[in-house]
């Protein structure tokens, strides 16, 4: 009968291998996604887009990097404001150019 210690070590090894497998899985996933990513990047380049369309509820959050210096409802450039995505993303800090 195998000893509990050996079983435990074996289990931990398996779990560690599974963790290693996530890296492999991730690498496969990334290489699968590469054409998709490239396509998106190409679209961005062709259209000259600047931002992700993750945050579309307010007119200044779709293009975060293009927001006004004083966008509406935004009391302070760093204020977490009313829209949920606004709490997720602050307006860009570097608007002055340099």
Q: How far apart are CA 74 and CA 89, in angstroms?
A: 13
CB of 73 to another protein, least distance (A): 13
Q: Determine, following the binding rule CB under 8 A, whether residue 75 of this chain makes contact with another protein.
A: no
CB of 43 to another protein, least distance (A): 5
Q: How far apart are CA 11 and CA 9, in angstroms?
A: 5
Q: How far apart are CA 80 and CA 90, in angstroms?
A: 7
Q: Determine, following the binding rule CB under 8 A, whether residue 63 of this chain makes contact with another protein.
A: yes
Q: How far apart are CA 38 and CA 92, in angstroms?
A: 25
Q: Determine, following the binding rule CB under 8 A, whether residue 81 of this chain makes contact with another protein.
A: no
Residues that bind another protein in the complex, under the rule CB under 8 A:
3-6, 8-9, 12, 15-16, 18-19, 22-23, 25-26, 29-30, 33, 36-37, 39-59, 62-66, 68-70, 83-85, 88-90, 92-98
């Amino acid at each position: 009968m195998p000893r509990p210690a050996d079983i435990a070590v074996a289990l931990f090894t398996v779990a560690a291998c599974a963790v290693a497998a996530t890296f492999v899985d991730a690498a496969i996933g990334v290489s699968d996604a590469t054409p998709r990513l490239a396509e998106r990047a190409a679209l961005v380049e062709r259209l000259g887009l600047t931002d992700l369309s993750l945050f579309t509820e307010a007119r200044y959050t779709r293009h975060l990097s293009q927001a006004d210096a004083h966008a509406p409802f935004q009391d302070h450039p760093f204020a977490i404001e009313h829209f949920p995505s606004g709490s997720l993303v602050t307006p860009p800090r570097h608007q002055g150019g340099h």
